[in-house]
């Protein structure tokens, strides 16, 4: 594998999804592992230099010498700098096709979202073209973004040096991935939280205020409240009958626990459980968010009378009335409007944990 990953257009592969045993990475792999031509492992670091108002790029330059010291003796460290939206997906797909042992997202939740989507093509995992059939590429994370909400589920600090040590230790676990399908039938994959209506609208506007750091979530929420109305939504869980939920403020679907810069919105979600947690907020007013904001951040809001939660394998959400302006997003990325369907892909990716 050459450590200068080029972005190419992917042909449609034909293969089936597979799950592997959780394992610890042995950084001293040699010819006895059956990979004689790959005695040094290829680790691709996908870096968004513009993340966190440019802080990601600056911190990465400081981190790189340490990374080379800790991993350079065992691995080929392949640095790939993104140049714009979706570039991380292209880099990831090409790295996997070329047989990379790991792709590590360096940045925030947006970069991680793109890298996760790069693991898939046409609804299936991207295959390696030059490795054994059982070979799989692991996912890693060095959180250096604005929110880094996914890392919070594991109790990780925004410390890149700790993240490097997790990769050095090499312990991996299986990670579930959510699938979200919109009106057009196109699939997107999410690793953290998908959400609908006010929270998704707030996330959409927050992306316009990234230059303000974590304050972008506050500004996004304030902007989203302008003209907001709670609407009736219909929901179908696990392929069952439609249920109507009245005056829905937000509907959140968690593979992990946090979004919006530390809000513990789906507090019982577990990205290795094989389920998604759905939390529905109904008939919230602007002052409810002010009065109950501390509960949303602590994850204690499930006790509120107008908040419901359930564990699901799949969920479909549509408008009860004929509207076309109910926002949908996943992992902070705007994905259009209702209707939508979410489901879980259990144990889809090996993840450095």
pLDDT of residue 231: 95
Residue with tokens 């947006």: 110
Asked whether residue 193 falls in the same domain as residue 335, the answer is: yes
DSSP assignment letter at 329: E
CA angle, residues 326, 330, 334, in degrees to nearest 5: 55
What angle do the packed helices 55-71 and 160-169 form, to 10 degrees?
30
Final residue of a domain: which of 170, 196, 224? 170
Mean pLDDT across the chain, nearest whole number? 87
Please tell me the distance from the alpha carbon of residue 125 to that of residue 68, in angstroms, as a whole number: 29
Please report, for residues 102, 145, 189, 304, the alpha-carbon distance to residue 105 in angstroms, rounded to integers and kept in the order given: 10, 10, 15, 36
pLDDT of residue 39: 60
CATH code at position 203: 2.60.200.40
Asked whether residue 123 falls in the same domain as residue 197, the answer is: no
Please state the domain count of the chain: 2
The string over 179-216, giving b where at least 16 C-beta atoms fall within 10 Å of a residue's C-beta and e elsewhere, is: bbbbeeeeebbbbbbbbbbbbbbbbbbbbebbeeeeeb
Whether residue 101 lies in the annotated active site: no
Look at residue 80 and tell me if it is in a domain: yes
Which range among 121-125, 134-138, 149-153 shows the weakest confidence by mean pLDDT?
134-138
Asked whether residue 98 falls in the same domain as residue 221, the answer is: no
SS3 208: helix
Asked whether residue 104 falls in the same domain as residue 198, the answer is: no
Greater confidence (127 vs 145) lies with 127
Final residue of a domain: which of 170, 195, 212? 170
Catalytic residue from among 42, 101, 109, 149: 109
Average of per-residue pLDDT across 124-133: 84
What would the pLDDT profile of 203-228 be if each residue is shown by its tens digit? 888 888 877 877 787 788 888 888 89
Asked whether residue 123 falls in the same domain as residue 193, the answer is: no
- Domain span at residue 115 reads 17-170
Asked whether residue 164 falls in the same domain as residue 306, the answer is: no
Please report, for residues 54, 76, 98, 167, the alpha-carbon distance to residue 63 in angstroms, rounded to integers and kept in the order given: 15, 16, 25, 14
Asked whether residue 278 falls in the same domain as residue 157, the answer is: no
Look at residue 177 and tell me if it is in a domain: no
pTM exceeding the 0.95 threshold for the entire prediction? no
Please tell me the distance from the alpha carbon of residue 112 to that of residue 337, in angstroms, as a whole number: 22
Asked whether residue 159 falls in the same domain as residue 245, the answer is: no
Which range among 153-157, 168-172, 321-325 shows the weakest confidence by mean pLDDT?
321-325
Average of per-residue pLDDT across 169-194: 95
Average of per-residue pLDDT across 36-56: 82
Residue 87 has which token pair?
């570039």
Look at residue 163 and tell me if it is in a domain: yes
CATH code at position 136: 3.40.50.10330
Look at residue 226 and tell me if it is in a domain: yes
Look at residue 1 and tell me if it is in a domain: no
What would the pLDDT profile of 13-42 be if each residue is shown by its tens digit? 332 223 333 334 444 443 333 333 346 899
What is the total residue count of the chain? 353
Asked whether residue 135 falls in the same domain as residue 81, the answer is: yes
What would the pLDDT profile of 137-147 be if each residue is shown by its tens digit? 999 999 987 77
pLDDT of residue 294: 94
Rg (C-alpha) for the chain, rounded Å, is 20
Asked whether residue 161 falls in the same domain as residue 229, the answer is: no
Asked whether residue 107 falls in the same domain as residue 252, the answer is: no
Asked whether residue 121 falls in the same domain as residue 201, the answer is: no
């Amino acid at each position: 594998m050459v450590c200068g990953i080029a972005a190419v257009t992917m042909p449609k592969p034909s293969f089936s999804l597979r799950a592997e045993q959780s394992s610890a990475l042995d950084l001293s792999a040699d010819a006895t592992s059956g990979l004689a031509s790959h005695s040094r492992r290829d680790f691709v670091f996908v870096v968004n230099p513009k993340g966190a108002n440019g802080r990601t790029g600056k911190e990465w330059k400081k981190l790189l010498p340490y990374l080379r010291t800790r991993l350079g003796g065992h691995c080929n460290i392949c640095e790939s700098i993104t140049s714009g939206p979706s570039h991380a997906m292209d880099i990831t797909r090409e790295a996997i096709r070329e047989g990379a042992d790991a792709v590590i997202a360096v940045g925030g939740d947006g970069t991680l979202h793109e890298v996760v989507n790069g693991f898939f093509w046409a609804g299936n995992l991207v295959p390696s073209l030059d490795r054994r059939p059982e070979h799989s590429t692991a996912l890693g994370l060095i959180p250096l973004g604005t929110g880094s909400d996914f890392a919070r589920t594991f109790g990780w600090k925004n410390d890149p040096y700790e993240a490097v040590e997790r990769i050095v230790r090499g312990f991996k676990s299986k990670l579930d991935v959510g699938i979200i399908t919109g009106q057009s039938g196109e699939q997107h994959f999410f690793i953290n939280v998908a959400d609908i209506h006010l929270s998704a609208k707030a996330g959409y506007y927050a992306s316009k205020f990234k230059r303000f750091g974590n304050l972008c979530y506050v500004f996004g929420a304030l902007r989203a409240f302008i003209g907001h109305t709670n609407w009736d939504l219909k929901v179908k869980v696990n392929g069952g009958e439609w249920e109507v939920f009245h005056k829905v403020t937000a509907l959140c679907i968690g593979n992990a626990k946090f979004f919006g810069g530390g809000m513990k919105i789906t507090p019982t979600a577990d990205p290795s459980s094989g389920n998604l947690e759905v939390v529905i907020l109904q008939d919230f007013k602007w002052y409810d968010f002010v009065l109950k904001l501390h509960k949303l951040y602590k994850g204690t809001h499930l006790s509120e009378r107008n908040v419901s939660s359930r564990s699901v394998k799949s969920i479909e959400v549509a408008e009860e009335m004929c509207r076309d302006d109910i926002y949908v997003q996943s992992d902070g990325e705007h994905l259009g409007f209702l209707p939508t369907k979410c489901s879980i892909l259990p144990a889809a990716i090996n993840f450095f944990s």
